[in-house]
Copies of this chain bind each other. A is one copy, B any other.
Amino acid sequence: GVAPAVHAQAAVRWRLASSFPKSLDTIFGSAEVFSKAVKDMSGGKFEVSVHAAGELMPAFGVVDGVQNGTVEMAHTAPYYFFGKNEAFAIGGAIPFGMNSRQLTAWMVDGNGQKLMREFYAQYNIIDFIGGNTGAQMGGWFRKEIKSPDDIKGLKFRVGGFAGKVIERMGGVPQNIPGGEIYQALEKGTIDAAEWIGPYDDQKLGINKVAPFYYYPGWWEGSLNLSFYVNDKAFNGLSAENKAIIKAASHEAHVTTQARYDSRNPGALKQLVGAKTKVLPFPQSVMDASFKASQEVFAELDAKNPDWKKIHADYVNFQRDQVLWFRFAEGTFDNFMQRQKL
């Protein structure tokens, strides 16, 4: 008989633990785009099964999972692991950080990915870009915020790093899973809650219990999502599969930002139609938040050398980016915002 074809490359089966629920189709979908691209490109010889938060491990257990090799991969928001080491946040979002394009530029053509990989090595992680949400909204408030005084005593559901800044401003940061926000606001257990942006926030129905929707979410001028890959698993791949992971992560990165940008406007219009009051944070609140953030950064510089090294490079890059974006990019955007299309 005819000898069977010899396949030089054995089939590879990996598991990916997401930190997100399936209901967040944009952010969870990033891992699905990645997984499909890997499967399609390899003709099914490399498959990565995608598991929602809680399916294999808790949402915030994915770094341990990848570090220990329980799973080969995770898809997550790096700042969730701020409690392990504040430097994680720089790979995701820090208050008054870079916008989506700037942060991607730092990761891809600046020192960002190089520095983050040096840091991640202690967790056995190699990271790849995995989408960005763009600038987020500042969240939902039961009462209007008119000055920094209104932050004092405010029970605000807000993520780890931003919570540090809110605390310094006299607020009371709260850690509550997305699914419990509605009830906590309704009962008055909390006064305010931030989530992501119109498209995701609408799904939680928070607008019914907190009518004031503030912008911008200065703690997430953009949020870079990451694929974390266990380094031994990655190094065991063929050169082809390594390149496939890289390209698939780029496909997921573009697709996720595109989905957020494409889907947020319609959701915002619907929220406004349902009587949401969309308001900018007052200048005094923005200024006080910026000042408090700089103070937190200075404290971290003094106590965390990982943070200090990476953050110094980040801010140098950011300074040039913000300067450059003032010219063609910013002027063009601002002009367009005044036109009737």
Contacts and interface: CB of A to CB of B under 8 A. Distances in A.
Interface of A: 3-8, 37, 40-43, 96, 99-102, 104-110, 129, 134-138, 197-198, 215-218, 221, 238-240, 242-244, 246-248, 250-251, 253-255, 257-259, 261-266, 268-269, 278, 280, 286, 290, 315, 317-337, 339, 341
Contacts of A262: 105-106, 108-110, 317
A135 B335 CA distance: 12
A244 B46 CA distance: 13
A41 to B, nearest CB: 4
A265 B329 contact: no
B6 A265 contact: no
A41 B247 CA distance: 8
Contacts of A40: 239-240, 242-243
Contacts of A317: 262
A216 to B, nearest CB: 4
Contact of A247 (B247, B257, B259, B335): B247
A102 B257 CA distance: 10
Nearest to A250: B251
A238 B330 contact: no
Max chain B C-beta neighbours (<10 A), residue from A197, A238, A242, A244: A244
A31 to B, nearest CB: 15
Contact of A320 (B5, B238, B239, B266): B266
Contacts of A254: 104, 108, 129, 250, 253-254
Given A6-B5, A101-B100, A240-B40, A328 B215 contact: yes
Contacts of A108: 254-255, 258-259, 262
